[in-house]
Amino acid sequence: YRLVRFTTAPKQDCIMLGAKAPGGLPASVKGIAVGRKADLLFFLHTANVLNPVNEDERSRMVAKGRDTFTLPEVLRYVVNYEDGASVTVPVALEKGVDHWIREEPAPLENAQIAWAQRLETLQGRQAVLYSMKAPNPRPDVAIKTIDIEQGRNADRAVPAVLAISTGTILSGE
């Protein structure tokens, strides 16, 4: 990704979803053009987490005999291929994205820190962007478009998507 200063960017913009966002935003953005094959997909995003997962929720799940706690899906990417097929890439809170303001940002299970910076306006805390990498399950078919949609648990967060990129795995030549 190539990041520019928001204050000096030619166009200060990102994609945000959700009725709970200031001004009430759409639940999805459809048809982001791609037009190429890819082995990997990279998503640069963050979220304003309104309803974080709490310890009481985790305890209730464990009490119900579940071995693993299913984290809420707050965002999903739908990859639409030239042949009409599509696949969904879910993004779970605390796994693929987290709150955009952190005391000390840390990598997540499915995402790395792409950028973090202490800002005076955040009283010493840091703004953070996460980069989530996903293998393309159909690398031999061109991706026509990508849609961005709120996840099943949209009430928990207002996601912000800053960039989507594709990658090709190079052979060891």
pLDDT at residue 66, as a whole number? 57
**Single-letter amino acid, residue 28:** S
Mean pLDDT by 10 residues, the chain (173 residues): 63 79 87 97 97 86 64 96 98 96 96 92 92 97 98 94 94 66
Phi, psi (degrees; rounded to nearest 5) at 60: -65, -40
Per the structure block, which two tokens stand in for 66? Answer: 């579940």
Phi, psi (degrees; rounded to nearest 5) at 138: -130, 65
CA distance 80 to 141: 10
Distance of CA 44 to the CA centre of its chain: 6
CA distance 107 to 131: 9
Residue 118 β-bridge partners: 126
pLDDT at residue 10, as a whole number? 64
The H-or-E segment that residue 48 falls in is strand 40-49
pLDDT at residue 170, as a whole number? 87
pLDDT at residue 141, as a whole number? 98
Q: Report DSSP state, residue 82.
A: T
